[in-house]
Amino acid sequence: MRFFKELSEILRCGDKDKKFAEFKRFYNSYKAGHYEIVDDGEILPLKEPSYAKFCDVVEMKNLDKKSQKQNKEAAFLHSIAHIEYSAIDIALDAAYRFRGLPRQYYDDWLEVAEDEIRHFKMIEKYMQNFGVKYGDMQAHNGLFVALKMTENSLLERMAVLPRYMEANGLDANAFMLKKLENDHTKADLKEILQVILDEEISHVSKGDRWFKFECERKRVDPSEYIAIVQRIYPNSFLQTRELNEEARLKSGFSASELERIKQIAKSRANI
């Protein structure tokens, strides 16, 4: 069985039901020890997101804001579904693209992919209550662009995707839960978001582990994290949303890192 070839086919599959079924087969075989992780083929460049097969994909700045305002609840749920579906491919690509790493690395990212599929399915089921399914609305390519920009560097990939973007998701999820706190009509949604938040902490933690692994391998000081992210996204760390410090600390961030992040947002807000 060819580990990377099969993983590539699952990553690029644009039929979500087939993708999930193939991943389940692949992952069960992997856990049973049926795959030897041997770098036996070309690493294919990213060309288009797998969801382009069934979504109208646009750049973030070109999202139809008018339609989103008219269908606020549906747009909100669709945006969560899109993040979770994108996260599936982020995990799969992390396992596919970077070779010659300890088996634990592949264990970690395949486990994340399984979690993200489950998260997506929970949101997809909930969306049915509102007569909307994933693909009914526009989807931005922001996370796919981040994959493209970091496809040649494990250090940058781990810094930008799990440790920056997914960590921002910890903040956003906590913000959404707080906003829904007194809305008793959204009990099911709150339960889903809480499950996602709890499990995303472990995902960011895995990103933290492999970021620091690569820092050691490349002899880079982990304190360069902010500079690494800002090289790719110069306007990063400008968020005004409150940091979910508890979740970030559990994920591997240090208190001094969080303080530096807050200071960047504060100093730029005063410019």
Please list the residues that pair with 2 across neighbouring strands.
36
Q: How far apart are the first and last CA of the chain?
A: 56
| Type of residue at 178 | K
What average pLDDT does the structure give for the chain? Answer: 94
What pLDDT is attached to residue 72? 86
pLDDT of residue 1: 67
29 burial via Cβ count (<10 Å: 0-12, 13-18, 19+): middle
Note if the pTM is more than 0.85.
yes
- Whose structure tokens read 């591997």? 252
**Per-residue burial over 123-156, b = 16 or more CB atoms within 10 Å of its CB, e = otherwise:** bbebbeeeebebbbbbbbbebbebbebbeebbbb
For the record, the structure tokens of 245 come out as 């410090």
Q: Tell me the DSSP string of 119-186.
A: HHHHHHHHHGGGT--TTSS-EE-HHHHHHHHTTT-HHHHHHHIIIIIIHHHHHHHHHHHHHTTT-GGG
pLDDT per residue as tens digits for the range 205-242: 999 999 999 999 999 999 999 999 999 999 999 877 89
Spell out a b/e string for 13-26, using b for 16 or more CB atoms within 10 Å of the CB, else e: beebeebbebbeeb
Q: How confident is the model at residue 68 (pLDDT cuts 50, 70, 90)?
A: low
pLDDT tens figures, 239-263: 778 999 999 999 999 999 999 999 9
Query: Chain centroid to CA 250: how far?
Result: 18
Cβ atoms 117, 64 nearer than 8 A: no
